[in-house]
């Protein structure tokens, strides 16, 4: 127990020493309008465990005390010796309330723009009140000086808190860091000419400086729109650092740049808008990814279901075909027996009835599963009297085929095209057409191949689709969407495009022909 406590004390003292050194180093390169120690203070108080707070307070007070001791002859001793401890103790109230009210990384980075502004304002209030109450420095323009403190504190807090939040939310897992890095490099390329322009122009040209500094905020807006909250954080950090680098480091704690001050105020407002707006974009991105993944899963499930159903229907058709063969054999034996007994009329009727039943079986088999595709391909199945009678209800059917044999496609795609074509005919049959025109053409591309199908009708009727036709259209849309195809519906024409990868096995190897 003693060793654990001693290790904790040693670790806390190390934190206090490192904090104090970092505070002094950051204070030397800071300005009142870009105050980095405020960011160090806020980051430590927001994210380090509460048990280390006494050491943070000790390190902060020691660093401020080290700066104030040389000013003992200028200001009151109470401000020099007691002020540092009272300042950090009072400033710590705002981070403590933020930690109580906002819990979790997701909530923290959602509320961080407002939390940072609250801490910045509270720190400026504490600094001004303690300076006035303890005999410290007093500025003639109190309101301007207060806004200067708030702006510097806010920008300094963002410089430290945003990287910590990006680290805690594990950006490399939630987003593709490569894309953010690429877009950040693009933003740097945009900022570099503006930065060089500001540094090269004389200080008297304030208007060009202001315009160039304001244009530096465009990359932050670009990153926000491209990557949501994480892009906004990266953009704000980049622009914040770029604008600060346009100021000359004079080594003077109260150094003030009036030209950059207006840009800093604009950056504070823009940073709050970008971070809040970026959080909203991130939520939309996350919802879109979840919905997109759900939709892809649903489409994959539907496609697998359709592909699984076709072999089942094929097996059922083969069983029915075997039964039909047995029935034909029995009918043939009965036919021979009737003829042997001299019952030629009955035998003829039985033979005619067998032909009718055979034709009816072929029509129903074509509805169940187009097994003829495996032998003669899709074109061969469509160019039959059975298809015309079963699907077109006796209407005239005009077939327009391309030059490439669809057997160069997989059997699954041919069956899918047949199903979609049947659904299109069922939908268009509500208009009682006298003529169907079916156009099919096989196509090939570099990575995919497929088939184009168009079904059009010639009709004199102008009516609304029936429930049967609407259900056929719904089935058609479902099949096309599940297979990743494209569908276009017109009043009397339906066009669809289906495709597959070249990796799918073809039904029969046929020599390629021109389209």
Q: If residue 34 lies in a helix (H) or strand (E), which one and from where to where?
A: none
Q: Which of 270, 291, 312 is the last residue of a domain?
A: 291
Mark whether 82 and 220 lie in a shared domain.
Answer: yes
Q: What is the 3-state secondary structure (H, E, C) of 331-363?
A: HHHHHHHHHHCCCHHHHHHHHHHHHHHHHHHHH
CA 303 to chain centre: 23
d(CA 446, CA 465): 39
- Least trusted range by pLDDT, from 213-227, 271-285, 326-340: 271-285
Q: Which of 268, 291, 314 is the last residue of a domain?
A: 291
Mark whether 279 and 380 lie in a shared domain.
Answer: no
Q: Which of 271, 291, 311 is the last residue of a domain?
A: 291
Q: Roughly what angle, to the nearest 10 degrees, separates helices 258-340 and 105-133?
A: 170
Query: According to the per-residue pLDDT averaged within each range, which of 120-124, 190-194, 333-337, 507-511 is highest?
Result: 120-124
Q: Are strands 396-401 and 435-444 parallel, antiparallel or unpaired?
A: parallel
Mark whether 284 and 374 lie in a shared domain.
Answer: no
Is the pLDDT confidence value at 18 over 60?
A: yes
Query: Cβ(392)–Cβ(437) under 8 Å?
Result: no
Mark whether 127 and 276 lie in a shared domain.
Answer: yes
Helices and strands, counts by H and E, the chain: 18, 5
What CATH number has the domain bearing residue 470? 3.30.565.10
Residue 415 lies in a domain: yes
Residue 354 lies in a domain: no
pLDDT digits (tens, 9 = 90+) for 23-73: 988 888 777 677 889 989 999 998 888 889 999 999 999 999 988 888 888
Mean per-residue pLDDT over the chain, rounded: 76
**pLDDT band with cut points at 50, 70 and 90 for residue 514:** very low
Nearest alpha carbon to residue 246 among 234, 236, 259, 255 = 259
> How many CA atoms are closer than 13 Å to the CA of 484, on its beta-carbon side?
13
Mark whether 277 and 375 lie in a shared domain.
Answer: no
> What is the average per-residue pLDDT within 480-486?
80
**pLDDT band with cut points at 50, 70 and 90 for residue 247:** low
**pLDDT band with cut points at 50, 70 and 90 for residue 204:** very low
- End-to-end CA distance of the chain: give it in Å, rounded: 85
Query: According to the per-residue pLDDT averaged within each range, which of 99-108, 239-248, 394-403, 457-466 is highest?
Result: 394-403
Residue 339 lies in a domain: no
Nearest alpha carbon to residue 514 among 408, 379, 380 = 408
pLDDT digits (tens, 9 = 90+) for 164-184: 887 776 555 544 667 777 777
Residue 330 lies in a domain: no
d(CA 349, CA 355): 10
Nearest alpha carbon to residue 198 among 218, 223, 222, 215 = 215
Q: If residue 508 lies in a helix (H) or strand (E), which one and from where to where?
A: none
Mark whether 170 and 50 lie in a shared domain.
Answer: yes
d(CA 435, CA 195): 72
Mark whether 56 and 182 lie in a shared domain.
Answer: yes
Is the pLDDT confidence value at 376 over 80?
A: yes
Mark whether 188 and 278 lie in a shared domain.
Answer: yes
Is the pLDDT confidence value at 100 over 60?
A: yes
Residues of the chain above pLDDT 70, percent: 72
Residue 266 CB neighbour total at 10 angstroms: 16
Is the pLDDT confidence value at 495 over 70?
A: yes
d(CA 120, CA 268): 11
Residues of the chain above pLDDT 90, percent: 10
Residue 344 lies in a domain: no
pLDDT of the residue at 194? 75
Mark whether 393 and 484 lie in a shared domain.
Answer: yes
**pLDDT band with cut points at 50, 70 and 90 for residue 513:** very low
**pLDDT band with cut points at 50, 70 and 90 for residue 160:** confident
- Least trusted range by pLDDT, from 100-104, 208-212, 307-311, 397-401: 307-311
Residue 358 lies in a domain: no
Q: Which domain holds residue 477?
A: 370-501
Is the pLDDT confidence value at 346 over 60?
A: yes
Query: Cβ(483)–Cβ(409) under 8 Å?
Result: no
Q: Higher model confidence: residue 473 or residue 197?
A: 473
**pLDDT band with cut points at 50, 70 and 90 for residue 310:** low
162 contact partners, CB below 8 Å, separation of at least 6:
112, 233, 236, 237
Mark whether 258 and 397 lie in a shared domain.
Answer: no
Q: Higher model confidence: residue 279 or residue 228?
A: 228
pLDDT of the residue at 311? 64
* Structural domains counted in the chain: 2
Mark whether 169 and 267 lie in a shared domain.
Answer: yes
> What is the average per-residue pLDDT within 413-431?
86
Mark whether 138 and 266 lie in a shared domain.
Answer: yes
pLDDT of the residue at 251? 42
- 497: its two tokens: 């495009």
Is the pLDDT confidence value at 313 over 70?
A: no
Residue 514 lies in a domain: no
Residue 336 lies in a domain: no
- Least trusted range by pLDDT, from 135-144, 195-204, 229-238, 399-408: 195-204
């Amino acid at each position: 127990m003693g060793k654990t406590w001693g290790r904790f004390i040693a670790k806390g003292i190390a934190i206090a020493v490192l904090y104090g050194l970092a505070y002094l180093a950051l204070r030397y390169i800071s300005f009142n309008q870009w105050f980095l120690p405020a960011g160090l203070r806020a980051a430590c108080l927001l994210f380090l465990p509460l048990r280390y707070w006494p050491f943070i307070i000790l390190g902060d007070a020691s660093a401020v005390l080290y700066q104030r001791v040389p000013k003992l002859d200028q200001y009151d001793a109470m401000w020099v010796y007691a002020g540092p401890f009272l300042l950090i103790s009072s400033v710590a109230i705002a981070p403590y309330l933020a930690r109580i009210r906002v819990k979790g990384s997701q909530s923290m980075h959602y509320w961080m723009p407002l939390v940072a502004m609250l801490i910045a304002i509270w720190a400026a209030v504490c600094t001004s009140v303690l300076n006035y109450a303890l005999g410290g420095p007093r500025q003639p323009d109190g309101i301007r000086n207060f806004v200067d403190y708030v702006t510097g504190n806010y920008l300094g807090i963002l410089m430290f808190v945003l990287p910590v939040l990006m680290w805690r939310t594990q950006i490399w897992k939630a987003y593709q860091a490569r894309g953010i890095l690429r877009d950040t490099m693009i933003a740097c390329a945009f900022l570099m000419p503006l930065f060089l322009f500001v540094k090269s122009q004389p200080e008297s040209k304030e208007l060009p400086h202001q315009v160039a500094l304001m244009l530096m905020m465009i990359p932050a807006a670009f990153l926000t729109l491209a990557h949501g909250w994480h892009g906004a954080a990266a953009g704000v950090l980049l622009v914040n650092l770029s604008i600060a680098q346009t100021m000359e480091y004079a080594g003077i704690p109260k150094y003030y740049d009036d030209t950059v001050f207006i840009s800093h105020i604009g950056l504070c407002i823009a940073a709050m808008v970008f971070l809040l707006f970026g959080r909203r974009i991130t939520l939309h991105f996350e919802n879109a990814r979840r919905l997109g993944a759900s939709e892809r899963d649903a489409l994959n499930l539907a496609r697998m279901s359709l592909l699984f159903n076709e072999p089942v229907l094929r097996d059922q058709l083969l069983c029915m075909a075997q039964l039909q063969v047995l029935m034909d054999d029995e009918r043939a034996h009965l036919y021979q027996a009737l003829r042997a007994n001299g019952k030629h009329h009955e035998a003829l009727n039985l033979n005619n009835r067998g032909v009718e039943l055979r034709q009816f079986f072929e029509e129903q088999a074509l509805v169940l599963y187009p097994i003829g595709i495996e032998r003669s391909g899709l074109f061969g199945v469509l160019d039959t009297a059975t298809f015309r009678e079963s699907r077109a209800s006796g209407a005239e059917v005009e077939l327009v085929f391309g030059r490439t044999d669809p057997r160069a496609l997989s059997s699954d795609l041919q069956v899918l095209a047949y199903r979609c074509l049947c659904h299109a005919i069922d939908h268009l049959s509500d208009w009682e057409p006298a003529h169907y025109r079916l156009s099919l053409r096989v196509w090939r591309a570099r990575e995919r191949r497929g088939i184009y199908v168009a079904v059009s009708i010639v009709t004199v009727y102008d009516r609304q689709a029936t429930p049967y036709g609407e259900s056929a259209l719904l089935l058609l849309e479902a099949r096309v969407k599940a297979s990743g195809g494209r569908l276009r519906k017109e009043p009397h024409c339906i066009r669809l495009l289906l495709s597959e990868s070249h990796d799918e096995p073809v039904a029969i190897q046929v020599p390629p022909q021109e389209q």
